[in-house]
Chains A and B, each alone.
Chain A
Amino acid sequence: MRDVSIIGIGQTPVGELWEKSLRHLAHDAIVAALRDAGTGQADALYVGNMLSGELAEQEHLGALFADFAGLRGIEAFKIEAACASGAAALRVGHMAVASGLYDMVIVCGVEKMTDAIGADTTAALALAADQEYEVSQGVSFVALNALLMRRYMYEYNVPHEAFAGFSVNAHRNGAGNPNAMFRRPITAETYRRAAMIADPINLMDSSPICDGAAVVVLAPSDLASDGRGSGPAVRILASTSATDSLAIHDRRDPLFLEAAYLSSQKAYVQAGVTPADIDLFELHDAFSIMSALSLEATGFARRGEGVRWAEDDGERIAIDGELPLSTMGGLKARGHPVGATGVYQVVEVVQQLRGEAGVNQVKDARLGMAQNIGGSGATVITHVLAAE
């Protein structure tokens, strides 16, 4: 097995991008990343996407994007793992380079959600859950997270306002990211007053529906430091994934994200690090309850105490805090174009480790972690990256 580095990154702004089609989003991010890597060629393209068939009426994305980006002929296909599709594509890309099969691989996460109307999008997102025994009952994906949040609040005696700091922090960081969908800070008061979607989850607990594409270019680490790219290469110290039951009701303990635990434990071993070594963490804050549960499963908090990281408007998780989270806005403020999210997270960790995060730069960032969650926790993929 060879060490793998990220030698190029690219991203489109995230938002309601009606002027851009699915293929144009992918193209823009691929071209930007190849330019950043200082190359025009690649051996393979792996696409992370969840809902192109449902919401953009297009499948067969590998060949489509390879052709559209001027790479006709290379190996290319789509990888799907619900909201973790982006990181899943990176896992596959990592395997292809680490194994020695390829020397230059493009990983593109892309989602086009805003062509469809609200109820269709809500139904499509619910495909991540168990169709026969969750979704058939009328439960939405938001409601599944609401069931977890209500139980968490009950078991640990936590008021809803206690989660506000996660959203306040995400929006504070989104304001400093030119590619973020939401670029205005919010207050805890905004959070408290937000419209209810699925009680107790309100609009400010939830990440937005949006479009976007993000790309990383991978190469073996020993070939990555030839100074060809525009930025320093960033090494992937760990790439791991794990699974749990699709349905929440089938879990041994619904309030423990077992796949997040397994995936992060494998990642710590692979990278030879502990949670205390991590300088910043791009976690899967699709809903604020997911932030609390992720922090507990990945070893940053004891059971029932993940929510405490949100105290004081998220002071301890801010850019200059003890454990910076969602440093470019996270899913909440940068946006959550589902199949693209896992690649956005990694692109942002690379920005931080290269020292290219602008006003959101985490000082002396050497080690960053990204964790992408599919469904309500059924697929969890963790990457640990280090500055060279």
Chain B
Amino acid sequence: MRIARNWRTRQQRYSLVGEVCTECGNKIFPPRDVCPHCTGPAQLPYTLSGRGEVYSYSTMYSAPKGFEEYLPYTVALVQLKEGPMLTAQLTDVDADEVRIGMPVEMVTRKIREDGEAGQILYGYKFRSVLA
């Protein structure tokens, strides 16, 4: 990810800042300014709790450039308890222990390094909620 884009999306990736629609009240993540539910303006920031459950998951054995060294890793669609769904890696869990419906919570982790001299990208991953 390029430096400016990394910087622009830092609030979303570090602290799950989305939006709430002032018309219909739906929570939105990632932020998109027009509510996908009612098309009203949705520009009021709203920080999501980071709690949710696994909607689906996949363990990858082939990666895009820049992610090869982390293989294999598990990605998921996470349904947040406030409603929105997002795409993220799962962490601190064995691939064969992941289940659909598993409760998860957001943690901040290293996503990738852009080579030895490049930036280190941090962002959200999700881990199993400890009972």
Q: Is the CB of A133 within 8 A of B86?
A: yes
> What is the count of residue pairs linking A and B with beta-carbon distances less than 8 angstroms?
111
- Which of B65, B77, B112 is close to A147, meaning CB atoms less than 8 Å apart? B77
B9: A residues at CB distance < 8 A: 132, 136
A139 in complex: contacting residue of B12, B30, B65, B87, CB < 8 Å: B87
Contact stretch, chosen from A87-95, A104-112, A192-200, A356-364: A192-200
Residue A137 lies at the interface, judged by CB distance under 8 Å to chain B: yes
B60 part of interface (Cβ distance < 8 Å): yes
**Which of chain A's residues have a CB closer than 8 A to the CB of B77?**
147, 151, 248-249, 254
Contacts of B64 in A (CB 8 A): 119, 122-123, 126, 135, 138, 140
**Hey, which chain B residues are within 8 Å of A137, CB to CB?**
75, 87-89, 111, 123
Q: Which of A150, A248, A249, A254 contacts B57 (CB 8 A)?
A: A150
User: In the assembled complex, which residues on chain A have CB atoms less than 8 Å from the CB atom of B88?
Assistant: 137
Interface residues of B in 55-85 (CB under 8 A from A): 55-68, 70, 73, 75-77, 84-85
User: In the complex where A151-B56, A197-B62 touch, is A249 in contact with B100 (Cβ < 8 A)?
Assistant: no
Q: Is the CB of B61 within 8 A of A196?
A: yes
Q: Which of A25-39 contact B (CB under 8 A)?
A: none
Give per-residue flags for B11-49: 1 if the beta carbon is below 8 A from chain A beta carbons, else 0.
011000000000000000010100010000000000000
Complex contacts, B56 vs chain A, CB 8 Å: 147-148, 150-151, 154, 254
- CB nearest to A146 among chain B residues: B58
Whether B123 and A198, one on each chain, are in contact in the complex, defined by CB atoms closer than 8 angstroms, is no
Cβ of B30 and Cβ of A133 under 8 Å apart? yes
Chain A residues near B66 (CB-CB < 8 A):
123
A119 touches B5 (CB 8 A): no
B100: which A residues are within 8 A, CB to CB? Answer: 150-151, 154
Residue A245 at the chain B interface, CB threshold 8 Å: yes
Q: Mark A41-76, 1 if CB is under 8 A from B, else 0.
A: 000000000000000000000000000000000000
Contact of B62 among A120, A122, A248 (CB under 8 A): A122
Q: Is B93 an interface residue (CB 8 A)?
A: no
What's the nearest-Cβ distance from chain B to residue A46, in Å? Answer: 30
A136 touches B62 (CB 8 A): no
Min CB gap A96→B, angstroms: 32
Tell me the count of chain A residues lying within 8 A, CB to CB, of chain B.
37
Name B58's contact: one of A118, A119, A150, A245 (CB within 8 Å).
A150
Of the candidates A134, A151, A200, the one whose C-beta lies within 8 Å of that of B87 is A134
B107: interface (CB < 8 Å): no
CB distance from B80 to the nearest CB of A (A): 10
Minimal Cβ-Cβ distance residue in B for A155: B100
A143 to B62, CA, bound (A): 9
Q: Point out the residues of chain B lying under 8 angstroms from A134, CB to CB.
A: 87
| Chain B proximity of A293: nearest CB distance (Å) | 13
Asked whether A201 is an interface residue with its Cβ less than 8 Å from the other chain, the reply is yes
Nearest Cβ distance between residue B29 and chain A, in whole angstroms? Answer: 9
Considering the chains assembled together, what is the distance between the CA atoms of A137 and B85 in angstroms? Answer: 14
Residue in contact with B60 in the complex, picked from A198, A247, A249, CB distance below 8 Å: A198
Q: Are B65 and A250 in contact (CB under 8 A)?
A: no
**Is the CB of A142 closer than 8 A to any CB of chain B?**
yes
A294, B112: Cα distance in complex, Å: 35
Name the CB-closest residue of B to A200.
B58
Shortest distance from the beta carbon of A138 to any chain B beta carbon, whole Å: 4
In the complex, what residue of chain B is closest to A119 when comparing beta carbons?
Answer: B65
Whether A132 lies near B30 (C-beta < 8 A) is yes
Q: Are B1 and A197 in contact (CB under 8 A)?
A: no
B62 A140 Cβ-Cβ under 8 A: yes
With both chains docked as a complex, state the minimum distance between the C-beta of A54 and any C-beta of chain B, in angstroms.
Answer: 11
Residue from the list B36, B63, B123 in contact with A250, Cβ < 8 A: B36
Query: In the complex, what distance in Å separates the CA atom of A123 from the CA atom of B1?
Result: 12
Of the candidates A122, A132, A248, which one forms a contact with B65 in the assembled complex, judged by CB atoms under 8 Å apart?
Answer: A122
Contacts of A133 in B (CB 8 A): 12, 30, 86-87
Binding site for A on B (CB under 8 A): 1, 5, 9, 12-13, 30, 32, 36, 55-68, 70, 73, 75-77, 84-89, 95, 100, 111-112, 121, 123
List A residues at the B interface (Cβ < 8 Å).
118-120, 122-123, 126, 132-140, 142-144, 146-148, 150-151, 154, 195-201, 245, 247-250, 254
Since A119-B64, A135-B64, A147-B56 are in contact, a sample of 5 more A-B pairs with Cβ atoms closer than 8 Å, ordered by chain A residue number, is A133-B86, A146-B58, A150-B56, A151-B100, A197-B62
* 17 A/B residue pairs, CB under 8 Å, sorted by A: A119-B64, A119-B65, A132-B5, A137-B87, A137-B88, A143-B58, A150-B100, A151-B56, A151-B100, A197-B62, A199-B58, A199-B95, A248-B77, A249-B77, A249-B85, A250-B85, A254-B55
